[in-house]
Amino acid sequence: MSNWLFAPTFISALGSALMAGLFFVFSNAVMTAFGKLSPATGIAAMQAINIWILNPVFAAVFFGTAAFSALLAIAALLNLGHAWSLPLLAGSLCYLFGAPLVTMIFNVPLNNRLAAASPETAEAARLWAEYLRIWTAWNHLRTILCLAATGLFIWALCRG
């Protein structure tokens, strides 16, 4: 692996690990805890998180890792004869599918529906039960794919 690929691969490994950890904590603890709260309280807590998660640090890790992953996928495709290219390509695709794509297609629309809900209503309580089940299932997938991306980026570094 050339020197110019080492740094973005290393940064992508760190970024995907951070995202896997964040998603894991939500799947393993946060959503379970929120499910134990009254629907109105759980909804209000998740609405607050969905607002405050949109900050520069989160954006830098989430989108920066996506940008590096796209660059690394192209580099891997242009260097398919190297031992590091397939794990680099696979890691890039795992991250790109697992973080931005699943988030934008599945989790964000659910977040938008929840944002429009009035936490105290019976309709919101029904939405909350569905939200917990579906959002968390997609979050499990994000966790697994970001963790796989981390391992594949490390593997590519070891083979480079």
Task: Read off φ and ψ for residue 121, nearest 5 degrees.
Answer: -90, 160
Report the percent of the chain where pLDDT is more than 70: 100
pLDDT in tens, 29-60: 999 999 999 999 999 999 999 999 999 999 99
pLDDT, residue 153, reads 98
C-alpha pair distances (Å), 69 with each of 6, 10, 49, 91 = 12, 11, 26, 8
Distances (CA, A) of 26 to 34, 122, 134, 160: 10, 25, 13, 33
Read off the pTM.
0.94
In terms of pLDDT, which residue wins out, 119 or 92?
Answer: 92
Contacts 24+ apart (CB under 8 A), 116-125: 117/43, 119/39, 119/40, 119/41, 119/43, 119/44, 119/47, 120/40, 124/39, 124/40, 124/43, 125/39, 125/40
What is the model's pLDDT at position 150? 98
| For range 143-148, the mean pLDDT | 98
3 has a pLDDT exceeding 90? no
Express each pLDDT in 58-79 by its tens digit: 999 999 999 999 999 999 999 9
